[in-house]
Amino acid sequence: MARWVFAQQNDEPLKGPQGVPETIVRILRDRGIIDFSDIEDFLDPFPQRTYDPFLLNDMAPAAEEILRTADAGERICIYGDYDADGVTSVSLLLCVFRKLTDRVCYFIPSRFKEGYGLTRRAVKAIADEGAALIVTVDCGSSAIDEVDYARSLGLRMIVTDHHNPCPEAIPACLFINPKRYDTTYPFPHLSGCGVAFKLAQAIQRLLEEKNDHRFTKTDLNKLLDLVAISTVADVVPLLDENRTLVKYGLEIINRRERPGLEALLNALDFSRKSVEAEHIAYLLAPNINAMGRMQSADIGAEVLCSGGKSRSELDRLARCMTESNKSRKAEQEKTGKLCREIIEQGGSGEWFPVIFAPDAHEGVAGIVAGHLKETLYRPVFIVTSGENGRIKGTGRSIPGLDLHEMITEVSDLFERFGGHAGACGFTMKRENLEPLRAAMQKAVLERLRNDPNLLEEEILITKTLDASEKTLDFAQMLRRLEPYGEKNPKPLFCSGDSRIESLHFMGRESEHVRFTLRGEDRTPLSCILFRRAGDYGDLLRRDALVDVAGELTVNEFRDNQQVQLVVKDMKRGNRQ
């Protein structure tokens, strides 16, 4: 059971724009959105918050270099990453560059051969194929030596990325990254595909100035579906410019105009009226990611870009993606079981488990690490075997413990590393495993001295629902906060002390339960708990006094709508 933390309450009524309930004003205030104009912009179904792409360092010369290379008939190679952000980024620039030239190719490294990021082996292969210009997407910020090597081969380089650059140096080439230390861009949290979109936007502007219609604003806007997928999949903050990009991107997705995306939705038997952000997170993104985890991410790029393929071919490739995701799930279950057994044996580290599982499937290690950090509520590394006596690790962390910061403190242990606060990856010599494990325990303990509650899971509750908020109208009003995601999570509410009036267990092992609460205000509240009914023992019985925390949603079934609380946690009531 998590520790419940209530959002700071203020006895004075909060004022917001006309027609906006005080509770929603309070939610937005807690997310740093305070001014009336910012609140109105956030709730606007047609937000306009975007920034000039030329505010990004090196954007103008990069866009000009791409146009110059295309017009000269020289070969351009897009170099990406094998996750959903990288694949959508490659697909986006492929769609753009193919409007400019037929001399374009792409390279997505194999997780199992080249590994993450720009590598010398890949650069040499691209040079041998006759490319003149490499444009990276979603990678390259730490590739100082690799960029120098590419230039030594006569290649021109443009790095576009959104990961934290090395503090000591940046690549010696045109370098577009909103997280540059000398950035002039007002919003640092774009996804990799978001940065690629800004590059496409700059190219379109330059073409428009020349009255060149090869790539138009209409073409540009059609790419927002890819940006929406990447922004949700890569768990970047769904605020500010990202909110605008995702809102319009979801509109594009729901027009079903991208043949490859339509093929994937059909392969997934998607039958809902519209695709929402949560469907990207739990349906589309895992199937795109699965290709890079299990096989080759190229198939995902081919499906999303379509590239003149027939509908039957796209359907075949989309089915390949869904089958790969099924294989991923099976391998994930096997790897998860293995890692839990290793933890039980001891020696992985109490404060920061560094799990050495040489036989674990590298492709699913990141997902398993993510699940373990949730159940253990600790940062977790899973380390697998690599090539030439090297080992490869992937990590996931909890709020308040910045992985990138912690591994940067011991950067001399790694041959390659990269990532951000919540996730990272690295390659190192086997002999450095124990020093890494010791260093990570020390790093967590040092941070615990400053904040002893770091390893205690918290859930933030907006407020206790009153009778006026246990309504369909209020639940529908909350939808104006969508799309939900990182830094804009679904708000949590609690029921206050309430009696369970009726309950119905569901599932093969009674793991789900639907029940009705009635509190002191006598207003009934329908609740549903998925998968974890067994965690709450005798709390789940008729007439039990409980306090339930969850997400207030609208349940739609056969054209009927009902307000319901999707349970995240519950505890015994306080009233005697």
Q: Report the alpha-carbon distance of residue 234 to residue 134 in Å, rounded.
A: 23
Q: Report the alpha-carbon distance of residue 517 to residue 548 in Å, rounded.
A: 9
For residue 439, the model assigns a pLDDT of: 98
What is the CB neighbour count within 10 angstroms for residue 35? Answer: 8
Q: Report the alpha-carbon distance of residue 390 to residue 153 in Å, rounded.
A: 27
Six token digits for residue 327: 């294989």
Same domain? 511 vs 426: no
Six token digits for residue 88: 């959508």
Burial code (b: 16+ CB inside 10 Å, e: under 16) for 394-408 equals bbbbbeebbbbebbb
Same domain? 98 vs 187: yes
- Nearest to 286, CA basis, from 335, 324, 248, 245: 324
Same domain? 433 vs 503: no
Least confident of 11-20, 167-176, 209-218: 11-20
Q: Are 225 and 252 in contact (CB under 8 A)?
A: yes
pTM as predicted = 0.89
Same domain? 472 vs 415: no
For residue 400, the model assigns a pLDDT of: 93
Residue 10 has pLDDT above 70, yes or no: no
- The overall average pLDDT reported for the chain is 94
Least confident of 113-117, 210-214, 287-291, 369-373: 113-117
Is 315 a member of any domain? no
Is 170 a member of any domain? yes
Q: How confident is the model at residue 114 (pLDDT cuts 50, 70, 90)?
A: confident
Six token digits for residue 485: 């995601």
Same domain? 174 vs 195: yes
For 213-275, give the secondary structure using H, E and C. Answer: CCCCHHHHHCCHHHHHHHHHHCCCCCCHHHHHHHHHHHHHHHHCCCHHHHHHHHHCCCCCCCC
Six token digits for residue 318: 């989309």
Is 289 a member of any domain? no
Same domain? 352 vs 477: no
Same domain? 167 vs 99: yes
Same domain? 475 vs 428: no
pLDDT tens-digit readout, 142-173: 899 999 999 999 999 999 999 989 878 899 99
Final residue belonging to a domain, choices 422, 450, 478 = 450
Is 523 a member of any domain? yes
Same domain? 548 vs 489: yes
Q: Report the alpha-carbon distance of residue 129 to residue 77 in Å, rounded.
A: 10
Provide the β-strand partners of residue 383: 356, 393
Provide the β-strand partners of residue 298: none
- Nearest to 106, CA basis, from 84, 133, 69, 83: 133
Same domain? 433 vs 474: no
For residue 307, the model assigns a pLDDT of: 76
User: DSSP per residue over 151-184, as a string?
Assistant: HHTT-EEEEE--SPPPSS---SSEEE-TT-TT--
Is 267 a member of any domain? no
Q: Are 501 and 474 in contact (CB under 8 A)?
A: no
Is 341 a member of any domain? no
Residue 322 has pLDDT above 90, yes or no: yes
- Nearest to 399, CA basis, from 443, 457, 441: 457
For residue 11, the model assigns a pLDDT of: 64
For residue 574, the model assigns a pLDDT of: 85
Give the C-alpha distances (Å, rounded to integers) separating 403 from 165, 325, 342, 395, 443: 14, 27, 22, 8, 10
For residue 340, the model assigns a pLDDT of: 96
Final residue belonging to a domain, choices 388, 421, 450 = 450
Q: Find the CATH number of the domain harbouring 233.
A: 3.90.1640.30
Non-local (6+) Cβ contacts of 223 within 8 A are 92, 95, 96, 197, 200
For residue 18, the model assigns a pLDDT of: 86
Six token digits for residue 553: 């949603």
Same domain? 89 vs 237: yes
Domain count, the chain: 3
Residue 567 has pLDDT above 90, yes or no: yes
Same domain? 442 vs 538: no
Mean pLDDT of all residues in 523-541: 93
Q: Find the CATH number of the domain harbouring 535.
A: 2.40.50.460
Domain limits for position 500:
3-7+459-572
Is 114 a member of any domain? yes
Six token digits for residue 454: 């770091």
Q: Find the CATH number of the domain harbouring 420.
A: 3.10.310.30
Final residue belonging to a domain, choices 236, 252, 268 = 252
Residue 191, exposed/middle/buried by CB under 10 A (0-12, 13-18, 19+)? Answer: buried
Q: How confident is the model at residue 299 (pLDDT cuts 50, 70, 90)?
A: very high
Q: How confident is the model at residue 416 (pLDDT cuts 50, 70, 90)?
A: confident
Is 293 a member of any domain? no
Non-local (6+) Cβ contacts of 335 within 8 A are 357, 360, 361, 364, 365, 368, 382
Six token digits for residue 74: 């020289």
For residue 115, the model assigns a pLDDT of: 77
Mean pLDDT of all residues in 32-61: 93
Residue 337 has pLDDT above 70, yes or no: yes
Q: Please give the backbone phi and psi of residue 383, each rounded to the nearest 5 degrees, phi first.
A: -115, 125
Q: Where are the alpha helices (DSSP H) in 347-410?
A: 365-376, 403-408
For residue 274, the model assigns a pLDDT of: 92
Residue 2 has pLDDT above 90, yes or no: no
